[in-house]
Structure 1
Amino acid sequence: MAKKKNRKKEYLLKLKRAGIIKAAAKVATNVVSKATLSLEEFSAISAVEGIRPKLIETLYNEGIKSVSDFKNFTEKDVLAFKGVGPATVNKLKENGVAFKA
């Protein structure tokens, strides 16, 4: 059993020396940063098509930065945002947005 632990430690040290662990962390950071869209990119997606730019900016500022972020909010949460009403929520649902149940 001790030999297995030593092999694991040796393997991790080998990866660390080769710089692979740092490279993997850097790649993970890049993936996370690309998962969220800028306001301009968010405005161009089909889920917010037909909605006023001011409301799109409100959604973005409230933390909805991608289509998958809508799943973190209920319809009531979105209705509580300034300027968002039932018509906006209905338009989002027509565009294929899925809210948290």
Structure 2
Amino acid sequence: MGRLLYGSQEREIQIDDRSLAHAQLVIIGKLRRSESFTFSWAAAEDTGRATVWIHPSIPLQFQYDGKASVPINQEWLKELTAIASRGDLRLTSEPPGSSN
């Protein structure tokens, strides 16, 4: 289980390593273009959902439990990028597709 540490207080958002790797690529791509957006995820079991505002000026770290990098599913990456382009990145279930 990886973690996204967000903000000066390092709010910890737990995300499995595979999903985190895909989210990281989308988030970094948007931040490189100085685009701000929200990132939403399912909170702890049955407690609803949470959202943070992602902005280039807010500290952000990606930490992985596994040492090896995960293969990237290009179809999922395209899907997540399209979702994020609408302003609110949300992790979806991984579709079958190619992994690099």
Higher RCO, Cα 8 Å, sep 6+: 2
Q: Please report the TM-score for the alignment, with normalisation by the length of structure 1.
A: 0.26
Q: Larger C-alpha radius of gyration, 1 or 2? A: 1
Q: Please report the TM-score for the alignment, with normalisation by the length of structure 2.
A: 0.26
Structure number having the greater strand percentage: 2
Structure number having the greater helix percentage: 1
